[in-house]
Chain A
């Protein structure tokens, strides 16, 4: 199918558009401008204030005083949990050292040992769902922060090799773009069994976004819709799953194994099974997670929100006596530093961010990532590979936004720990006694 390719923007057009966009984020997010938040911005999960505060943080590296950057208005889960801060005199001093690093390999085997500087990393967004510029922005930032980001299922653009030590190679059910080379390059291989936004439904890249380059990377025909099936058609048991991991371990004898699953009723069993099959990281992706395209019916209705899955898995793994041998990572509706700290208090070791990275780079949560009526994808240049639109996000700018955003998140994370009198993020894990449920409204 032939499709109109838009010309790459001229340097002048790029300069003008970027200036207007960047200035716009500033004008809307800062208190010293004459403009208020757009009335149509935000929703119950990502309120206008959460979005604008991400823009503020991505420009300043600070948390805003004038916006609620902690919680949304969803009426449940993270939005009803608050921390039991200690009285001020019992809190750690503002300059007290607080360790928020996270060790990922707890199996005690011979594979990579890896400690990341913050208890979170970037979730999978495939080439095709986002551009190389967005992938590189995230990868460069991951490198700077000694953390990671995942390729998603769409191959490994050559530019990423520059940051290979910070890039997780994802193997998902369609095996799109999976190559020996990219498996060998990765410190962690992530098996994506399911995605929270569309659990049990596989993946979908709409035809309009599967352009020439994307198709080449995925070994497919341009402008033809691509489906990743569900499930892995070679995996119908934990034993099959183990064979899967063994196959990849043979190709890359040092990489850690991560298993990404969604949150069904028996998520605890799935997690334990994955551990015994050899996983170092169990990555739970809750039902409110992000996506480039998913059936609307799947987003709310199938599988459970991450807040409800974490304690279930954490406690079950404790009972099984394996909790300290595995890293439990939570994603899917984790929006803020406060959400991350709450997820850890509920039992996770760390979190994965996806949508938050995009919001920091300008996403307004308009839900047109799948292509929208224009078929060109994100008008902000994020979830698109359109030759013109993808240029709105330049790598250096994107990486800088994320760097500042992560700076603010880290500050807030440390502040929470100090307020709770904790000097190490590991001490927060499973500490539900430090949480309070706000029954009458949002936290």
Chain B
């Protein structure tokens, strides 16, 4: 609750302010009370266990005869030293079931390999193929396992030991984010992350304010704020109706972000509200009037000048989808020239445009085209496609997006499995857990959102940036693996494009 909502009744008070005639102690009390009404934005994560069994990480096989021989031998060798006889190599309880190693509990295995190294003759630990097979070439089993943990715990995954993966990589892996070593614009660090802002504005930022003769503001800026720089994109067609949109709508409400949905789903399922953005075809744009119930924004599913002219003065915010295909840059410019203030750039689920290029390049092109045109702050650019991990969020923002859409990660958080064409937007076949219920699903999405926001705070904290708005298009905060390699290795024989 903000100061303007303050309800204390007192002759000496007007709503939202305290006069100076009060005795000092009384005024201090009221000020304290006023301050206490301030609610800092927070996402309430609650640990929410998996509904369906998640494939375990490792399989543990124990040769029964080998184990029996060992036990027999140790029984006599250490007779009387029962701590030795009953000791187990596993500190995670894999061999602590009723019959020990004869019926191991591989679900508990974390792959330390102590059992296998100590007892090479009869223990084998292998990666579980079922887990490795999850996902596709882009949204890998590693992403899925991470999203599973994030939506279960709602926290930032923390582990020991260093990085285990490849040096650079394709897609978002091409970028390292910067950090600020000593001189920092803000003193955030680990104790100040709560002071970093993650809210972003959607709409056109007024370049100047206009006041009337009486000093009043002539025109209120047409924009809105969401508390996180991500929103929920529409689920694939196979789950576009039913419980999934309901879950996402409630989670969007609780997280204070937006869910984009086809307008017929919004209408048929009664989901209209401030956190739901109905997507309307240009031909149906007249329907905008029917979405008045608390709706703050609608989206037009493609660019159409006539339809836009119909709604550009409408009090609701209107965003327009722009698939990154064909000559999208000309369309972008046309939209901007005609005063469109929110443009939603869209690619397939792998973040790839029809010319094969990745979103990070395309986002930069769009962003810098508007910078060059001198109108970047008058337009909000949002993008959907290719976000599969928490690190992708800041990277997409650095390359120029004000906010980005989450798609598959939301389904993975609900333990959905995707099959068929997982690349084309809308096409994937989605298998939801049979026991999916709304409360559970909502909490899992909230947890994922909390974890990803907290991870965004880590990145911002490391940079010493106080608010995510300042990260948009800050390519100076990006380090590109390819550029750094050229700088570091350019004079080494054999380096592609190097001096030799």
Binding site for B on A (CB under 8 A): 9-10, 12-13, 16-17, 20-21, 23-25, 27-28, 33, 35, 38-41, 43-46, 74-77, 79-81, 84, 193-194, 196-197, 199-202, 204, 206, 227-233, 235-238, 240-241, 261-262, 264-267, 270, 273, 287-305, 307-312, 332-333, 346, 355, 363-374, 376, 378-380, 383, 389, 432-433, 435-439
Contact = CB atoms under 8 A, between A and B. Distances in A.
B162 A200 contact: no
A33 B117 CA distance: 13
Contact of A304 (B159, B477, B484, B494): B484
A80 B78 CA distance: 51
A301 B176 contact: yes
A230 B163 CA distance: 21
B160 A200 contact: no
A387 to B, nearest CB: 13
B492 A432 contact: yes
A298 B462 contact: yes
B164 A297 contact: no
5 contacts: A10-B83, A12-B78, A204-B158, A265-B479, A366-B113
Nearest to B175: A301
Interface string B453-479: 001001101111000000000001101
Given A200-B461, A231-B184, A299-B163, A38 B484 contact: no
A238 B182 CA distance: 8
Contacts of B496: 437, 439
Nearest to B477: A265
Contacts of B90: 379
A193 B182 contact: yes
B135 interface: no
B114 A379 contact: yes
A10 B81 contact: yes
Interface of B: 58, 74, 78, 81, 83-84, 87, 89-93, 108, 110-114, 116-121, 124-127, 146, 156-169, 173, 175-184, 187, 189-191, 390-391, 395, 455, 458-459, 461-464, 476-477, 479, 481, 484-485, 487-489, 491-496, 498
B182 A13 contact: no
B315 to A, nearest CB: 40
B479 A304 contact: yes
A237 B279 CA distance: 50
A432 B495 CA distance: 12
Contact of A303 (B58, B178, B455): B178
A16 B479 CA distance: 50
A79 B491 CA distance: 17
A204 B156 CA distance: 13
Given A193-B181, A200-B464, A364-B113, A373 B92 contact: yes
Given A302-B462, A437-B496, 11 more contacts: A41-B113, A77-B167, A79-B167, A200-B181, A295-B157, A297-B459, A363-B161, A368-B159, A369-B161, A372-B110, A389-B91
A379 B190 contact: no
A236 B183 contact: yes
A202 B190 contact: yes
A16 B87 contact: yes
Task: Output the residue of B156, B183, B488 with the most chain A CB within 10 A.
Answer: B488
Given A43-B165, A45-B162, A436-B493, A300 B183 contact: no
A80 B89 CA distance: 38
B161 A365 contact: yes
Contacts of A379: 89-92, 112, 114
Given A233-B187, A288-B163, A308 B114 contact: no
**Interface class of chain A by DSSP:** loop
A76 B485 contact: yes
Given A21-B117, A364-B117, A303 B487 contact: no
B442 to A, nearest CB: 24
B412 to A, nearest CB: 16
Contacts of A373: 92, 108, 110
A290 B162 contact: yes
B44 to A, nearest CB: 20
A312 B487 contact: yes
A310 B492 CA distance: 14
Contacts of A374: 91-93
Contacts of A332: 162
B119 A20 contact: yes
B113 A74 contact: no
Contact of A262 (B167, B179, B455, B481): B179
B494 A439 contact: yes
B120 A27 contact: yes
Contacts of B489: 81, 311, 432, 437
A13 B83 contact: yes
B113 A308 contact: no
Contact of B463 (A74, A200, A372): A200
Contacts of A235: 182
A40 B58 contact: yes
Contacts of A237: 182-183
A38 to B, nearest CB: 5
Contacts of A12: 78, 81, 83-84
B492 A435 contact: yes
B89 to A, nearest CB: 7
A436 B496 CA distance: 11
A7 B488 CA distance: 52
Contact of A199 (B93, B108, B184, B462): B462
B390 to A, nearest CB: 5
Contacts of A228: 190
A299 B191 CA distance: 20
Given A201-B458, A370-B159, A24 B182 contact: no
A231 B163 contact: no
Given A10-B83, A38-B117, A194 B181 contact: yes
Contact of A312 (B118, B458, B477, B488): B488
Given A17-B87, A40-B126, A437-B498, A364 B112 contact: yes
Contacts of A21: 114, 117-118
B448 to A, nearest CB: 14
B179 A199 contact: yes
A229 B190 contact: yes
B116 A38 contact: yes
B40 to A, nearest CB: 20
A66 to B, nearest CB: 17
B493 A437 contact: yes
Given A231-B182, A231-B189, A370-B160, A311 B488 contact: yes
Given A227-B191, A270-B182, A312-B487, A300 B163 contact: yes
A78 to B, nearest CB: 9
Given A20-B89, A302-B179, A302-B459, A289 B162 contact: yes
A196 B176 CA distance: 12
Nearest to A81: B492
A403 B392 CA distance: 43
A28 B117 CA distance: 7
B161 A24 contact: no
A395 B159 CA distance: 26
B112 A380 contact: yes
A222 B222 CA distance: 53
B114 A227 contact: no
Contact of A367 (B126, B160, B190, B485): B160
A378 B91 CA distance: 9
A309 B111 CA distance: 33
